[in-house]
Each structure stands twice: as C-alpha cells, then as structure tokens.
Amino acid sequence: MPFETIDRIMRAVSLRLAQCACGLLLAIMLLTVADTGLRYLAGRPIGGSNEMIEIMLSFLIMLAIPFCTVERAHIRVDLLSSALGTAGRRLGDLITGAVGIVTLAFLSRRAWRKAVDAWAYGDGTIFLEFPLWTLYGAICVSMALFAAILLWQTLCSLLGRADD
C-alpha cells in the first residue's frame, strides 16, 4: 500500500475519532450546565453527573490521542534541536519513537488484561454501575492505535519521508 494511502487512512480514522471526542466535550459541557442550573435553581442536581463526566472525559481523552499523534500536536521540548543538527534530531526521533512504541504496546496489553478481568468480575462504577471493561477497552484500543501511528511516523522518519 503506498505511503499516501496509509497516511490518508490514518488521518481519516483519527479525524473521525476526534470528532467523536468533540461530541463528548459538548455533552460534558451541556451536562455541567444542566447540573449546575438544576442544582442552584431547583435544588435538584443530576444524580451521578460527576461520574458521568468522569466516564465521558476518559473516553474523550482516548478518542483524541490518535488525532494529536497524527497531527504531531503533542507537547515537545526541543532543548537540543539546534545543537544536534538534522542527523541528531532524526536519531533522537527514532530513539523516542522506539521507546514510545514499546511503552504504548505495554500499556495497551495491560489495559487489555484489565478489560478482561473487569469483564469477568463484572466490575462497574460505584454510583451508575457503568461497566469498567469498556473504559479499559478504550484505553487498550487507543494506546494500540497510538503505537501504530507512532510506528508509522518512525518508519517514515527512518526512510526520510517525515513531514515535519
């Protein structure tokens, strides 16, 4: 598959996930406004709203991470970039890419194990009893996608096809 096709697929998938994250952010804002309004105007807060917001925020972050990775929008501290030169920066990118891929693969695997355990034990949140395996599953998939995108970017950098 050509480089451009893989880039296009990664960008499209990550954009759709980011759009879902934007929808969740909107839902969080509306829930917060409704809960605050009902709490202070009618003395009737929405039961479990804090837990709902925590759950939605967890999904929001996991949905947004692949887009940030594709767009290379993560925070970077370039203290040595000018001193290292182009070859040094490329080597640094390769090292950090490799470390990131290994770390993300480990996190994805751990999240998978937690999801399986949560499924088996029927773990849920305290108030709403929302199934925790879905949160661990989202972490697993997001970290795996993050690792795949990082792997692709690292390979492109190694082959001199980096776009940054």
Q: DSSP secondary-structure letter at 46?
A: P
Ordered per-residue pLDDT tens for the chain, 164 residues = 677 898 899 999 999 999 999 999 999 999 999 999 999 999 999 999 999 999 999 999 999 999 999 998 888 777 777 788 888 888 888 898 999 999 999 999 999 999 999 999 999 999 999 999 999 999 999 999 999 999 999 988 888 775 54
Q: Got the DSSP string for 64-102?
A: HHHHHHHTT-S----SSHHHHHHHHHHHHHHHHHHHHHH
Q: What is the pTM of this model?
A: 0.86
User: Residues 157, 97: contact at Cβ < 8 Å?
Assistant: yes
Please answer whether residues 18 and 61 qualify as being in contact, where contact means their C-beta atoms are separated by less than 8 angstroms.
no
